[in-house]
Amino acid sequence: MRALAITSVKNEAAFLLEWLAHHRAVGFTDFLVFSNDCSDGTAEMLDRLEQLGWLTHRPNPGPWEQGPQWGALKQADRHPLKASADWIAVLDVDEFVTIKTGDGTLNALISACAPATAIALTWRLFGNCGKVAFEDMPVTQQFTRAAPVGMLWPWRAAMFKTLFANDGTYGKLGVHRPRAPDKDRLQSTIWVDGSGRKLPALYQRQKLFTPLGSDPYGLVQLNHYALGAMESYIVKCDRGRANRAAGAFDMSYWVERNFCTTPDTAIARYEGAAEVLRAQLMVDPELAALHDAAVAWRKERFAQLMLEEEYRALFGRLLLTPPSRPLSPVAAQHMVSLGLRANDAKRETKATKGDDC
């Protein structure tokens, strides 16, 4: 089975080897990686990894009509690796597939979810836990506390990425889910959540989050280390979002993801295999030097940003802000009802405008 992971990166060389080794241990056989105007040696590291046979690197320089990530996905749609893949997932470098069934591989997950053709990998938000300084050690070992299962609000806690069979049902890649479905094939598509439960037919065409309040982590979850250490978060803010239409990295982004409520060490099952693979990579002198240079660049970049009032003030706010507290069930349900009411109002306004035309 050929399993393809597609990602788009900018200034993330310090984290790249960990992410790559982990997903090779999970069972991805191919990696298609796009670099977006990097200044920390990411592109050079990807070139070296391609020379060593670990991945395929494609530069993705700007400007981009719809942002760097969409520009990369348009290229990926035309790439031979996509055509030859049996299963595909579009992932970010701060997202780690964590399989809890069988031997922890993609084969075990796909077998457990059979006959599913699309598996929703729901985010598990891992908080910062008060860690200030960036350290050169695996993020999966540094951050081990996450949002509680079934959290209703913020709804982004239930967002997912998709592992899907590349069987011709969908014609285009998307950030969270495949797009452009073939109408004749669509009815035979089976979507399940990360606990293997069949999702409603609506998921064949739309939806970006699994049912609110459910436990979608029984077989697999997508560990999302969106924040990292406070120093790393500042450098991430400087880098900018992969999708230019998205909001900026700021305190709202931080607060909606900084949940440290529940210990979660499910990903520890991969530590041994991933460490062996990372060690194999670091044996290469050129790759090791590029990694060390990326670590030094990240520390220096943070120091430079602290000379600017905007970033220094943001760093101060991070230091002042404790981990986010999950809402009570009553408050969370109230927020959900407000959102539903707003969506109903939008649909009613749209329908009214349609009647007027």
129-141 mean pLDDT: 97
Domain map (residue ranges) of the chain: 92-347
Burial class (CB in 10 A: 0-12, 13-18, 19+), 79: middle
Which DSSP state fits 357? Answer: -
The encoded tokens of residue 66 equal 């719809």
pLDDT at 240: 76
Q: Tell which residue, 157, 208, 222, has the closest CA to residue 179.
A: 208
Give me the sign of the Cα torsion angle 252, 61, 160, 18: negative
| pLDDT above 50: residue 357 | no
Report the share of the chain in percent with pLDDT over 90.
Answer: 89
The encoded tokens of residue 271 equal 């530590």
Summarize pLDDT for 1-26 with one digit per residue, the tens: 999 999 999 999 999 999 999 999 99
pLDDT at 242: 52
pLDDT at 65: 80
Helix axes 230-239, 285-305, angle to 10 degrees: 90
Summarize pLDDT for 27-46 with one digit per residue, the tens: 999 999 999 999 999 999 99
- Is residue 246 very low, low, confident or very high in pLDDT (cuts 50, 70, 90)? very low
Number of H helices, E strands in the chain: 13, 13
Summarize pLDDT for 57-110 with one digit per residue, the tens: 999 988 888 889 999 999 999 999 999 999 999 999 999 999 999 999 999 999
pLDDT at 244: 44
- How much is the pTM? 0.95
Average pLDDT for the chain: 94
